[in-house]
Structure 1
Amino acid sequence: MRRKVVEQRARVTNAFEALRHQIGLALGAARNARLDAEDALTKLRLEKLVLSVGLDHAEDDPKLAEHRGEPAMASVLSWLHTVRSRFYADWADGPAQLRDLVASEADGPAGRPAGEWLGTLGRIDGTEPPGLWRIGEATVDGLSVGGTRGTTHSFDVAVPLLDESHLSITSAPKTRHTVDALVENLLMRVLSTFTPGAVKVHLWDVGQLTAVLPNFYALSRTSAVTVHDPTRLVDLLDELAGHIRRIHTHTMQAGYPTLRAMRKATGKRVEPWRIAVLYGNGENLAPEHLRDLKRVASGALAAGISLVLVDVPTVLGGSVETISLLDDRRAITSMTGSGVEVWLDPPLPPGQVAGAAARIAEAVITKQGGPRSFADLLPTEFGKECSARELRAPVGFYEGEPVEVVIGDATPHALIGGPSGSGKTNFLYALLGSLAARYSPDELALYLLDFKEGVSFAGLAPGKKDESWLPHARLVGVNVNTDREFGLALLRFLSDELRRRSAAAKEYEVTNIAELRAADPDGHWPRIVAVIDEFQYLFAGRDSVTAMATALLEDLARRGRSQGIHLVLASQDIAGIDAFWGKPAVFEQCTLRIAMPKARRVLAESNQAAVSAPRWHAVVNHESGISHGNQLVHVPDASAKDTFPVLQRQLWQRYATHGGPRLFDGAVAPQLDESPAFTTLEPAKDRPRALVGQSIEVMDNAHAVELASAPGRNLAVLGSSTAEALSVLEAATRSLARQYPPGAVEFVLGCAIDTCADEVRALADDLAALGHKPVVTSASDIPTVVADQAARLSEPDGGPRFVVLYGVDAVSPALERKEPGKPSGLDHLRTLLKQGPVKGTHVLGWWRGVARLKDTLGFGGTEDIGAWVALDVQGSELAAFCAGQVVHWSPRAGRALFFDRSTHASPEVTIPFHRQEASDA
């Protein structure tokens, strides 16, 4: 038992000894670690102290005197000497390498002495700017590069800028002139490197209203240098932000991440470089300005914009190099580190800078005043472009460079606005000419409609003086301000075409016009551009025309883009279009906005760019009118005499086989003998058609009444307008005569109005010339003739007969006269109207009032008039002859209302054909 206790005590004692030993080891290790840490910390502090005074001055510096006897100091000095020796052994040729680097990356004005380039114009217009721009020179002691103490080695110092980095400059007291010289040196090197106009400089100085870099005064009169209001930093930041958004959208759509990548890939410079120099005063910017500035800086380099900030305390996003002035000659930079002092280049000679700026300004002005004629918009070869993806054509120039309008999926429809005299018509001609020259009629079809009381587009159709036409035009409508129905007809036509294309796309299982053309290469699928000038006339009334036009326009605007149907809506003033402000669907789809000088509400509400636009210019905006999409364009004179017609004749000679357009002139009455509906009439076996007037449609069609053997197939002409009544009856009779062989039809012409006798006899002569034998009766014989025609209804196979009565109401007393036991002439006329059509006898009558026709027909007789043409009659009087529906119609010169109950849901406007008066012959 005792032995066991002793053994246990021994084990416990051994365990405690082992524990004490381990603790001792741990404490010793900790003590050693602490000593090592203290030693390392001492060395770091000494190293920092030595570096602060410089290794070469460590032995003489009083701050280090108290540490010279410390072992750690000797170790630190030895280690630093070893490191420097190893580093500079590798860096012995460092200055030479830096000189070579600057020479290669800062070629020409970017790095050469000013005497070699100052005053000459830049020649570079390529895709890659110099990588570095010289600012001065640095010198290092030979010992620091492994050489001999006291010898010096110098190298050029340059900073990156365009496409590479922003630049932040911090001044020292009383060094403003040095900062100005530094900035002027950099900007002059850049401006002298590139061709005039390739770089744009923006200057903003919070402390000065004028005289920002005064040597650049000549350039400030051009677009090369813009001096911004010191109280409106927000305007400059908004402008830069707008450029960034616009350029980013353009490059991303083209498939490139940055403007630089796009330039390198395409070999074209589509945007100038921009340098914005902001002079601050060392104080923080307002929070909102600072936020906008950082936002601009983060995306600026990708858009070819570089910022140069002077005494603007902030940390920018992206790549930023710094220059901090020590005095009026020396600075330190982030490119060389804080241990190397840079001796800045001396200021350029002021007189030479001013002279160089004047030469560049003169070159910019010359370039801006370059191609401005309409001919310069045209390509060297006509019809070489393909419209499968989009339509693209220049419409003017900005600083000598062409500015394009793009119509496609991204910008499907255009809105053009400008007051009278602002150049809207001229712009339309520039647009149409540029498009027509680039795309053949197989690629582009134009439908042109002008609601003004003018003939803006009339010259695009064949005329008496010029037989040529614009081959791309399928329709030219002019003077249609009173014919809103024609605008509606165009929208219906385009809607039908949209359905046709959509059906074809569905058949080929594609989604847009480009894919449809690829799937059906033999089909005819040009892009359609419908130009409607003064389109607001479509919505001038609160009626069915406005309602239908609004619905069709919204549908076309929404769905037309995918099937290659585009709208170009132009107006002098869109502020009064009440029909759209509650339905913005159309305006939202018009992402392409063109504002002429002084135009309002075409661009976005806050975008006032058009207000200050000069004459012969336009603001082209592909971004729905938002400010950052603005592009000011000088539009050449395209509507001058012998300008557009020259192009039109060239295109006509090239594409004349495509046929002429349909010309609709609302101020000119159509000629019956020129109407295709009349000239193509041939003898018909049955169902002859009586033409009554030209229909208001895209196609050159005529309104006609089918006079089949069916009840009610009679025609009534209503109204007191003699000339138009004669026109309708003459057109109907002559068109019927052309549909029967000579002698196969009987015409009875009853004239109850003496003043129309000559016209009726002339019509009889025309019928006789066609081989027919018309019977002409006077007013006194009409009751007898009507009675005879009614009696003949009982004859079998009497053959077709047409009883044409002029001024039926004029013989109403004679028709109403009744002998005892016998039916009156009015009874015979009613019988003829009711039973005649089934027997092949039709009445074409003219009543000079609706009430007089009702008296003729009697109770329940309105169904015996299957078709009617109303002249100077109010719509409210026509309800009884139009199935009781409300008729919105007010008489207007040269127009009539036509209704055929067998084919029409509602009355339609028709244009009576022009009758050649005896005085006209």
Structure 2
Amino acid sequence: MGRKASEQRARVVTALDQLRHQLGLALGSAANARIAAETELAKLELEQRIVRAGIDRSAGDPAIAEQAGDPAMSGVLSWLDTVRRQFYTEWGDGPNRLRELVAASAPGPAGRPPGDWLGRVGSYSGVTTPELWRIGSATVDGSSAGQTAGVELTFDVAVPLLGESHISITSAPPGATTQPRASVDALVENLLTRVLSTFEPGAVRVHLWDVGQLTAVLPNFYALGRTSALTVHDPTRLVDLLDELAGHIRRIHAYTMQAGHTSLQSMRKATGKRVEPWRIAVLYGNGEPLQPEQLRDLKRVASGALAAGISLVLVDVPTALGGSVESISLIDERRAVCSMTGTDLVVQLDPPLPGGQVNRAAARIAEALIAKQGGPRSFADLLPAELGQEHSGRELRAPVGFYEGEAVEVVIGDASPHVLIGGPSGSGKTNFLYSMLGSLTARYSPDELALYLLDFKEGVSFAGLAPGRKDASWLPHARLVGVNVNTDREFGLALLRFLADELRRRSAAAKDHEVTNLAELREQDPEGHWPRIVAVIDEFQYLFAGRDTVTALATSLLEDIARRGRSQGIHLVLASQDVAGIEAFWGKPAVFEQCTLRIAMPKARRVLAEANQAAVAAPRWHAVINHDSGVAHGNQLAHIPDASAKGVFPGLQQRLWERYASGHQQPRLFDGAHAPLLEEATAFTSLVPVARPRALLGQSIDVAEVAQGVELSGAPGRNVAVLGTATKEAVSILDSATRSLANQFRQGDVEFVLTCLVESCEPAVNELADWLATTGHKVEVVPGSDLPARVSALAGDLGSGAIRRMLVLYGADAALPALEQKAPGQQSGLDHLRALLKQGPSNGLHVIGWWRGTARLKDTLGFGGTDDIGAWAALDVQGNELSPFSAGQVVHWSPRSGRALFFDRSTHASPEVIIPFHRPEAEEHDD
């Protein structure tokens, strides 16, 4: 045990000795490191003292000499001398290089002496800008550049501004007893004058705000106050200026991002166009902090302003701005320090510009801007130099007016898919539509843009866009022109159905090509025909004038097209005098939310956002253009040229027609004030003999020119009834039915039996009989007194296999008294007529009759005979009277002149409105 304990103790002692040795080594190393660190720190402190005093002057400082005499410090002076020699080599030409840099980056008025440019109007377009703007100069001793000591070397000092940086100016150092306002004004005036004298008038807009002054803010610029180049803002309403700037930022950010650019400056460089002016906002504070809300808004503006082409110049506004900021702090009235040169160099500010010369220069710029803007621009100024050079794959873009000489555009595309236009009567809404349509059609060919134009108000606003008697030209982009349709709401519904069908067709094609929008579809299917479609519906509120099926269907279709049309290039332009009373959209904002492009004519209400009253103050012949759903920051006021004056738009249309007409069909014209002529209808002129003829009754109210008729086959009930007391329309329907049938039979294959029981119709019946005879058909005109006997004979001839017959009855109800008479034990003429109605179609005989009331038709048919009339056209008959002839469904119909409600139980789910054909001869007889 003793030996083991001794060995264990020996091991412990050895371990402790080793630990002491290691600790000694560590402590020694730490002591050496500390000595080295202290020595290095002493060297750095010595270096700082020598640099502050100057290498040459430091030898005369006893404290520095004593410290430098320490052997450990012996290398400091030699090392600094080596560094100085190297610096002199690099900086020897520093001032000259700075002068060259400023000269290259600040050309013209941006950097040249005032005598070279002050009073001249600038010429820069604003697409490119100087990078720097001179504020003064700085001087260094020659010794700092490796040259002779005592020789002063001067170089220019300039700061970045437009699109590059904000500027923060402090007017006096802390503790100063005076605020040198004149020096600050001179500095700001120098900068602004250089900027305004560099660019062409209108390319830069200046905003002035001074917390302490209502007027007299940079008074030498006040000549610009009568133009948009300068705006002085209310000192108590900083929030208004910040809201305005924020609105510009949002609007500019929206369309630069949509165009694939990160800033307005990059968009300018890429497109070579100045689409927006530069803006400089000068804010004079008083050295006191802004209110928290103002400060928050100012920082928000500053963070996005540069990308939107807005630079802030803050004077005595203590805050830290977002984004790039250069600072200028005045030392006294003529000297300052600037962040561009550092705090060790003093900047000698340029002397104030002569006030009188600045005033005259501002006046010349103002005069040049007014001259550039000129008087009201003409419609011709909207048009491009060459027609049809733009492509609509991504969007439609065209100027519609001018603001202070600059074009104001509308953009219709994915971001602003639909347009809402409002303005009271006489406000220029129609003229605006013509300006917009003219500008679009001049830029885009008919293969790029297709127009569907519909005007619900009484008038012919768009009629001239289709060929007419006086002018054979037409607008090649127009596919459909509808005018005077204020009573034909069904036509608006038909247009929406057409657009919905086209939307489905395009969506299916996009799905097949695995794309999501029109631009991609056109890229994947270059051989396809996919123009952008613009459907203009003027006074669109008429679509929703009633609480009926038309309103319900139109509302549903319009919402669907508004929601999904954007991606497939289908755009709505909805115009109205007043959108306030459209009950169909109460609680259904889907359509209006999609109309992000709002056009408000003077005095228009409820078109822009509720708080946006810009249209109320808009002058005549102007419009407020807003691409941001009517929010105030999106307002752009534009003067709209006179496009509706005689010969103005037709002149453009003639040029377009001559260029494109040969390769495009003329538009379909639907004029609700004129009934279609039978002999001009394609459906009539194309008729040929067929086994199952159709009796044409009228024209469908549809986008395509479609005639509605009744197929007279051998099926039961293939007879036609015309109902109502409207003689003119009833005669027209019977006439067109008979003539159309005649053109579908060969001579000798059909016999027409005509009976007129209304005296006023006899001329028309005789004329029809003469026409049938001249075409080689058999025709018999039966006097009313002979009708019972002739009906009985026809009934007796059923099933004989004889020639096909058409029994045409004018005023059939007038024959009821005679038809009801019968001899004892024999059937009456009415019995025989009922037999013809029931059994005739299967035996080649059809009745086409006119009854002047539904009750009289019921009397003719008898109990349970309604199935014998398979088709009917109702004129001045109320809808509730027609239910027995419509399979019991409720019929919504209020009679209107020149229209009929048509129902064919074999083809229709519900009745539809048609326009009876008219013939010129029938018109002459009626007169």
TM range (shorter): over 0.9
Equivalent residue, structure 2, for 1:283:
288
Offset, 1:754? 2.4
Q: CA deviation at 1:382?
A: 2.1
1:737 matches 2:735: no
- Residue 843 of structure 2 aligns with an amino acid whose one-letter code is K
Supply the distance in 2 between the matched residues of 1:888 and 1:181 (Cα, whole angstroms).
78
- Match for residue 832 of structure 2? 828
1:248 and 2:253 are equivalent in the alignment: yes
Q: What secondary structure is seen at the aligned counterpart in 1 of 2:798?
A: helix
SS in 2 for 1:411: coil
Correspondence 1:448-597 to 2 at 5 A: 448-597=453-602
SS at 1:811 equivalent: helix
- 307-316 or 90-99: bigger deviation: 90-99
The one-character-per-residue Cα deviations of 1:286-334 (angstroms, maximum 9, x if unpaired) are 2222222222222222222211111111111222111111121111111
Aligned positions of 1:332-731 closer than 5 A? 332-369=337-374, 372-657=377-662, 658-684=664-690, 686-731=691-736
2:851 equivalent to 1:847: yes
Deviation at 1:734, TM superposition (A): 1.9
Equivalent position of 1:772 in the other structure: 777
The CA deviation string for residues 466-508 of structure 1, in whole angstroms up to 9 with x for no partner, is: 1211122121100101100001111122222333334444455
Q: 1:756 to 1:88 in 2, by over 3 A?
A: closer
Distance 1:544 1:797 in 2: 46
Letter in 2 for 1:197: G
Q: 1:446 to 1:9 in 2, by over 3 A?
A: closer
Residue 750 of structure 1 and its aligned partner are, at CA, apart by: 1.6
Instruction: Using the TM superposition, give the Cα deviation of residue 37 of structure 1 relative to its aligned residue in structure 2, in angstroms.
Output: 6.3
| Counterpart residue identity of residue 166, structure 2 | H
Structure 1 Cα separation of the partners of residues 11 and 529 of structure 2: 107
**1:818 and 1:312, CA in 2 relative to 1: closer, same or farther beyond 3 A?**
same
Shift of 1:23: 5.8
In 2, Cα distance between the equivalents of 1:586 and 1:26?
A: 82
Deviates more, 1:103-112 or 1:587-596: 587-596
**2:262 — aligned with what?**
257
In 2, Cα distance between the equivalents of 1:183 and 1:879?
A: 83
Contact 1:450 1:457 in 2 (8 A): yes
Aligned residues: 915
TM-aligned CA distance change 1:824 to 1:197, over 3 Å? same
Opposite residue 105 of structure 1, the aligned amino acid is S
Distance 1:87 1:179, change over 3 A: farther
2-structure distance, mates of 1:365, 1:199: 14
Contact 1:222 1:364 in 2 (8 A): yes
**Distance in 2 between residues matched to 1:408 and 1:215, nearest whole Å:** 45
SS in 2 for 1:664: strand
1:305 to 1:56, Cα distance in 2 relative to 1, 3 A: farther
Give how far 1:626 is off.
3.6
Indicate the RMSD between aligned Cα atoms, in angstroms. 3.0
Identical pairs, percent: 73
Q: Secondary structure at the match of 2:781?
A: strand
| 8 A Cα contact 1:446 1:473, kept in partner | yes
Aligned to 1:152: 152
Q: Per the alignment, in what secondary structure is the counterpart of residue 888 of structure 2?
A: coil
Contact 2:248-2:633 at 8 Å conserved across structures: yes
One-letter code aligned to 1:119: G
Tell me, in whole angstroms, the C-alpha distance in 2 between the residues paired with 1:389 and 1:174: 55
TM-aligned CA deviation for residue 510 of structure 1: 4.6
Instruction: State the alpha-carbon separation in 2 of the partners of residues 10 and 857 from structure 1.
Output: 138
SS of residue matched to 1:421: coil
Q: Displacement, 1:186?
A: 0.2
For the residues of structure 2 that align with 1:892 and 1:667, how far apart are their CA atoms? 12
> Cα distance, 1:3 vs. partner?
11
Secondary structure of the residue that 1:436 maps to in structure 2? helix
Name the SS for the 2:826 alignment partner: coil
Residues 377 and 394, structure 1, Cα contact 8 Å, conserved in 2 = yes
> Are positions 1:109 and 2:109 aligned together?
yes
Q: Does 1:89 align with 2:88?
A: yes
Q: CA deviation at 1:414?
A: 2.0
The corresponding residue for 2:308 is 303
SS of corresponding position for 2:425? coil
In the alignment, the residues of structure 1 paired with residue 713 and residue 307 of structure 2 have an alpha-carbon distance, to the nearest angstrom, of 75
1:271 aligns with 2:276: yes
Deviation larger for 747-756 or 904-913: 747-756
CA shift, 1:826, in A, is 1.5
AA aligned opposite 2:396: L
- CA–CA distance in 2 between the matches of 1:692 and 1:73? 122
- Distance in structure 2 (CA, Å) of the matches to 1:882 and 1:459: 40
Cα drift, residue 39 of structure 1: 7.0
Query: With structure 1 as the length reference, what TM-score do the two structures score?
Result: 0.93
Partner of 2:175 in structure 1? Answer: none
Is 1:133 matched up with 2:137?
no
With 122-131 and 836-845 compared, the bigger mean Cα shift is at: 122-131
The superposition leaves residues 693-736 of structure 1 with CA deviations (integer Å, 9 ceiling, x where unpaired) of 22111112222111111211111111112222212112212222
Shift in Å, 1:13: 7.4
Shift of 1:576: 1.7
Q: CA deviation at 1:846?
A: 1.4
Aligned-partner residue type, residue 802 of structure 1? M
CA shift, 1:681, in A, is 1.9
- How many angstroms apart in 1 are the aligned matches of 2:136 and 2:569? 59
Distance (whole Å) between structure 1 residues aligned to residue 123 and residue 665 of structure 2: 50
Gaps of 5+ in 1: none
Q: Secondary structure at the match of 1:774?
A: strand
Seen in structure 2, the aligned counterparts of structure 1 residues 675 and 24 have a Cα distance that, compared at 3 Å, is closer
CA distance in 2, matches of 1:34, 1:906: 103
- Tell me: CA distance 1:752–1:140, structure 2 relative to 1, closer, same or farther (3 Å): same
Post-superposition shift, 1:49?
Answer: 7.8
Structure 1 residues 246 and 887: alpha-carbon distance in aligned structure 2, compared to 1, 3 A threshold: same
Amino acid at match of 1:584: P
**Offset, 1:340:** 1.9
Q: Show CA shifts across 1:174-195 (max 9, x none).
A: 3111111100000000111111
Structure 1: which amino acid aligns with 2:667? P
Q: Given the two structures, how large is their TM-score scaled by the length of structure 2?
A: 0.92
Q: Distance in 2 between matches of 1:573 and 1:792?
A: 64
Letter in 1 for 2:862: G
Amino acid at match of 1:772: H
Distance in 1, matches of 2:212 and 2:817, equals: 99
The answer on 1:890 being equivalent to 2:894 is yes
Bigger mean CA offset, 135-144 vs 636-645:
135-144
1:789-811 deviation per Cα after TM superposition (whole angstroms, max 9, x unaligned):
212214x1121111111222223
Amino acid at match of 1:135: I
Matched, 1:792 2:787: no
CA contact under 8 A between 2:763 and 2:925: conserved in structure 1?
Answer: no
Q: Show the counterpart of 1:164.
A: 164
Residues 1:907 and 2:906 are matched in the alignment: no
Find the residue that maps to 2:475 and give its secondary structure.
coil
Q: Give the drift of 1:375.
A: 1.2
1:14-163 to 2 correspondences below 5 Å: 71=67, 82=81, 85-86=84-85, 89-90=88-89, 91-125=91-125, 127-163=127-163
Residues 244 and 633, structure 2, Cα contact 8 Å, conserved in 1? yes
Task: Summarize deviations over 1:375-408 as a string: whole Å, max 9, x none.
Answer: 1222222233333333332222233333332333
Distance, in Å, in 2 between the alignment partners of 1:585 and 1:804 is 52
Higher alpha-carbon deviation: 166-175 or 512-521: 512-521
Aligned amino acid, residue 384 of structure 1: Q
Structure 1 stretch displaced more, 502-511 or 263-272: 502-511
